[in-house]
Amino acid sequence: MTLILLHTFIIMAIRNYESSESSNNNGNSNVLGYQITCSCMSVSSSVCMQYNCGITAQQASCFAGASLITLADGTFKSLADVQIGDQVLVNKNNTIEPITSFIHAKRQGLFTFLALQIQSVVSNLSSTILVSANHLIFDYDSGEARFAGKFRVGDRVQFIDNSEIVPGEIV
């Protein structure tokens, strides 16, 4: 019975949290899930009678702000510092394009990222990218975009080495 009450309490807390967040965000939310921590505040006859729970939303974010992007002049800039109008290297035939907008740019929150260690197959250059599991990354061999969470050790992705797109192996 106690577990059912706790479960009901947690579900109600999540719904209240979602309701308050959607009214604050005009219905636009990129919440992936919730991290819930509960502590028993009052015990009677070995049964917890009162819980204090905290809810933290895990939000979608494609890359960590510390991730680097290659600029037109070959230098790097952290994503947190990228601005509209910056000229950046894109994967379409090593072309340069301007940043025109941001789909989402959350500066604060709890985010979940994969850490993918990628080794260039043409040099000793390697890099670790922090990316969300549902962000698209280009498979080097097929050229198709796949979710980052679907790649495995040994798969090859498009990797920038000396301003060129080369095969990069996930190690």
CATH number at residue 155: 2.170.16.10
Tens-place pLDDT, residues 100-112: 877 656 666 667 7
56 torsion bin: left (phi>0), alpha (psi -120 to 50), beta (else): beta
Domain shared by 49 and 76, yes or no: no
pTM: 0.52
CA dist., res. 135 & res. 167, Å (int): 19
Structural domains counted in the chain: 2
- Asked if 118 and 128 touch (Cβ cutoff 8 Å), the reply is yes
Contact indicator for 55, 31 with CB cutoff of 8 Å:
no
For the stretch 53-73, pLDDT in tens is: 766 555 555 777 777 888 889
Give the per-residue pLDDT at 108.
64
Cβ neighbours of residue 69 closer than 8 Å, sequence gap 6 or more: 76, 77, 78, 79, 82, 88, 89
CA distance 134 to 1: 38
Considering the domain architecture, whether residues 36 and 79 belong to the same structural domain is answered as no
Is residue 50 domain-shared with residue 84, that is, in the same domain? no
pLDDT, tens digit, for every residue of 123-143? 999 988 888 887 888 899 998
Q: Which domain holds residue 138?
A: 68-170
Same domain flag for 92 and 125 = yes
Distance from C-alpha of 52 to C-alpha of 32, rounded to nearest angstrom: 23
